[in-house]
Amino acid sequence: MNDKTEFVVRAALIGAGATAVMDVWGVAQRAMGIKTLDFALLGRWVGHVPRGQWFHTSIARATPVSGELMIGWATHYAIGVTFAALLLAVYGLEWAHQPTLLPALAIGLVTAVAPLLILQPALGAGIFSSNTPAPLFNTLKSIATHAIFGLGLYASARVAALVGNAS
């Protein structure tokens, strides 16, 4: 397999795996009564973007979009794969062959910038959740979720490395 193909395959496997780890974390949070992102609302936002509407006062009150839940889940996993590609672009395929925790955790934490400075304001929650009733809690929850994503990047890269080395 050439390097470009390996990059794409590893980004897909590592990103999807890390996103799945983050989803398990979300299930655990919901089981504890902690509200998490409704992926239908992410899909609604994505559905409004081609119409020229990037920012909403409240995405929950925006007009629903056909297939928004599926769009939201697909976007969620596409973002995870993109962030895994960022990890590989920064640390290289060599890192993916012998993954270490720190680079994956660093990228996971860096990715917290996306919801805090882009998605939350676009959905109406404000920068660092400033328009929510509990901005500090919601900000820390986003950072923790992306730290879990970083752990998922590491775990998924380890699995991919084991499978890749066995073949």
Digit-coded pLDDT (tens) for 43-71 = 999 999 999 989 999 999 999 999 999 99
pTM of the model: 0.92
Residues 121, 111: Cα–Cα separation, whole Å: 15
pLDDT per residue as tens digits for the range 68-82: 999 999 999 999 999
Domain that holds residue 89: 3-166
Residues 2, 137: Cα–Cα separation, whole Å: 45
Question: For 66, left (φ over 0), alpha (ψ -120 to 50), or beta?
Answer: beta
**Cβ distance 87 to 152 under 8 Å?**
no
How many domains does the chain divide into? 1
Residues 63, 65: Cα–Cα separation, whole Å: 7
